Amino acid sequence: MHVHILGICGTFMGGVAAIARGAGHRVSGSDRNVYPPMSTQLAALGIELTAGYDAGQLEPRPDIVVVGNVCSRGMPVIEALLEQGIPYASGPEWLARAVLGERWVLAVAGTHGKTTTAAMLAWILEDAGLAPGFLIGGIPGNFGLSARLGEQPFFVIEADEYDTAFFDKRAKFVHYRPRTLVLNNLEFDHADIYPDLAAIERQFHHLVRTVPGSGRILVNGADANLARVLAMGCWSGVERFARAGTGTNWSATLPIGGDGSVFTVQCDGEPCGEVRWPLIGLHNVDNALAAIGAARHAGVTAERACLALGAFAGVRRRMELRGEAGGVRVYDDFAHHPTAIATTLEGLRRRVGRERIVAVLEPRSNTMRAGVHRDTLADSLAVADSVWLFAPADLGWDVAAALRTLGARAHLAGDPEALLAGLLEDLHAGDHALLMSNGGFGGLHERLLRSLAALPGGA
C-alpha cells in the first residue's frame, strides 16, 4: 500500500511514517519545511519527501493520504484530495486502524511529563525483553528513535490532547483505546484549541471512557483536576501514585534534600525497589512511579522496573546537557508552561546547589504567545539567579510588566542577536545556562556554545 503523509516532519507524523514503513508500506510525504533532523531520519528509512503542499504530490495517486493537524482547508493538496475522492484519515485514526487495534496499548496522557514517562515505560518493557512498539514525542536516549512497530502485543504511545485534524476536532488520544492508561497531571493549556480547563477535562473524561473494565488507570493522586475527571465516571481499575501521597498505591521516599536521583519506591506502603539514575527533579520521581505502575499492569515486577530505570538514558531536549564552553554548562529543555518551567528549574537547583543558574525562555507556544500564563510566569522563574526572555515585537503582551517582581534579575531581548550578546555578557565560568523552548530556539544552544568557546579563555 502507498501511504502519503501530509505534515510528515512533525514528531508525531514522522513517527507514524516510521511505523508505516516498518509495517511494509511504501511511504511518501510532504511538509512546509523539510529539514534535518526529521528529514534525515525519514530519508534513511527510504521515505520520499516533498517540500510544500502543492496538488501535484498526489500523482501518482496514493492508496491513502494521512492528514496531519497542521493542514487546513484552502491548501492546494487538501482541495485536490477532496475533489479526487482519495481515501484519507488523520494520523491517530490511521494508527488506530492499521496498528493499535491488535495491540495492548499503554497510553501516557497529561499536561506535563508525557514524553519522559512514555520513554521510561517503553524502556522498562524493553529491558524486560518484551520489545514493545512505541510512538513518543521525543527521542529516548535508550532507543535513538521516536517510533517503531515493535513486537506483539505491547505498544506505548504518548497520548496528546491536541486536536486531531481539520475534519476531526476531538483530542488525538480518543483514538488509541488503551488498556493501560497513565494520567500524569492536568492543567490549562492549548488556549488556541480549548476555551477553558473544563473543556480539557471533558476530553480526558472521553479518554477514560475508552479504557475497558479489565484495564488499569494510573492517576496522579495529588491532582485535583484529575480527580474531577474520574468523578465524571470511571469503569476501570484505578491505581494512584504520588511522590509523598497518603492513601496512594505508589509513593516514594527520598533522602533529605534529595534531587530525585535516588529514591525508594513503595507499593501499597511496602518497599518494592530502589531507583538510582542520572535524572534529577521531583517531577521525574512522579513520572517514574507512573511508569513502574503501568509496567506492572503489563506483567513487569516493580523491582525489575526499578532496576531498568537505573539504565534509563533520558530523552533528548529534557534537561539535556548540550555542552560546556568557557566553564558554562548549557542545557536544553522543552519546558514551555509555568509548571514545567518551575519544576525544571527546581530540579536543576537541587543538583547544582548555590551555583548560578541563568534561565533563558522563548515563549513560543500558542498559549504562551497569547499571554495566558503571564500572571504566573515570574513565579515559575523565581529559582533562577538571572532570567532572559526572548520577547519579539509581535508577542502581544507586556512582558516587562509580567516579570516586574523579578527586579534586576529579569532581562528582555527583542531579537536573537541581542539575546546572544546579552547572554555572553551575563554568563561566567561556573554558571548553568538553561534554555527552554518548545521549538529550536533559532539554534541558540549551539551558537551560544560556539561563542563562549571563542571568548578569551574559552574552550
Give the pLDDT mean for 394-398.
78
**Does residue 407 share a domain with residue 429?**
yes
**Does residue 330 share a domain with residue 214?**
no
**Does residue 27 share a domain with residue 103?**
no
**Does residue 146 share a domain with residue 78?**
no
Mention every residue, 6+ apart, whose C-beta is less than 8 A from residue 439.
362, 364
Residue 315 lies in a domain: no
**Is a pLDDT exceeding 60 seen at residue 117?**
yes
Angle at 130 (CA atoms; ends 127, 133), nearest 5 degrees? 105
**Does residue 239 share a domain with residue 385?**
no
**Is a pLDDT exceeding 80 seen at residue 366?**
no
Predicted pLDDT at 118: 97
The answer to whether residues 284 and 275 touch, using CB atoms and an 8 Å cutoff, is no
Which tens digits make up the pLDDT trace of 175-198? 999 999 999 999 877 767 888 899
**Does residue 284 share a domain with residue 218?**
yes
- CATH number, domain of 77, equals 3.40.50.720
**Does residue 60 share a domain with residue 113?**
no
Q: How confident is the model at residue 37 (pLDDT cuts 50, 70, 90)?
A: low
With a pLDDT cut of 90, the percent of the chain lying above it is: 64
Q: How confident is the model at residue 459 (pLDDT cuts 50, 70, 90)?
A: low
The tally of domains found in the chain comes to 3
C-alpha 122/C-alpha 124 separation (Å) is 6
Predicted pLDDT at 213: 97
**Does residue 196 share a domain with residue 83?**
no
Q: How far apart are the first and last CA of the chain?
A: 52
Residue 330 lies in a domain: yes
- Give residue 269's domain range: 99-309
Predicted pLDDT at 457: 65
Q: Which range (117-126, 171-180, 320-329, 367-376) has the least confidence?
A: 367-376
**Is a pLDDT exceeding 90 seen at residue 443?**
no
Residue 459 lies in a domain: no
**Does residue 329 share a domain with residue 301?**
no
Residue 314 lies in a domain: no
Angle at 344 (CA atoms; ends 120, 277), nearest 5 degrees? 40
Give the pLDDT mean for 92-119.
95
Which tens digits make up the pLDDT trace of 235-279? 999 999 998 877 799 999 999 888 889 999 999 999 999 999 988
pTM summary value? 0.84
